Amino acid sequence: MKSLEILLVILFVLSLSSCEKEPEIVTDIDGNVYKTVTIGYQVWMAENLKTTKLNDSTGIPYVTSDGIWAGLATSGYCYYDNSWGNALIYGALYNWHTVNTGKLCPTGWHVPTNEEWTTLMTYLGGDTLIGGKLKETGTAFWLSPNRGATNETGFSARGGGNRHEWGDFVHIKECADFWSSTEHTWAWDDAIFIGLHSITSNPSKNYAGKSTGMSIRCIRD
């Protein structure tokens, strides 16, 4: 009888494990596959976007020249220091004009609004000390001290830096800047972004010129 009880317990445990969902993945138009993570009621990509096309297959211009980038008022993307190696680690950097197409993320996903970023921050406890919950630990992808990093959410943010409006690349491993899809309310040439930093656990929410190149994290519709 005892052996039967043990067997039933084993079968019950196995049935539970078989019911566990595999982590969802999403594939972009280029065939790049991304891990995802559920945080509260939101489902986020757990990696930075690196597609070279909009989800309708329209190519996004790849811009290496500082001068061309600085004068760009239409869609464009790049890799930090124009290095594919950096793209593999940190994803691509996109200007906000690309975000504004509404077609940058895979179908069924979108670039988060400012409100959706706020929802994430609120769920994690407010806008102080939560940056560490979103950052990868250690100093492989962040400069020391990578303060407060626990990555307890599985968001796995890496310090991918950005590309200034005038074309130069800055702050790799120092910060991770993510566009929102929300324009600034009065600065017509600016849009809102969220920043994470190596030297603090506090995230920042600010605005930058739409020609700035930043990372993208998509959120499920």
pLDDT band at residue 15 under the 50/70/90 scheme = very low
pLDDT (0 to 100) of residue 189: 80
> What contacts 190, CB < 8 A, 6 or more positions away?
183, 184, 207, 208, 209, 210
Using the predicted structure, report yes or no on whether residue 209 has a pLDDT greater than 80: yes
pLDDT in tens, 78-107: 999 999 999 999 999 999 999 999 999 999
For residue 203, cis peptide bond before it (omega within 30 degrees of 0): no
Average of per-residue pLDDT values in the chain: 90
pLDDT band at residue 3 under the 50/70/90 scheme = low
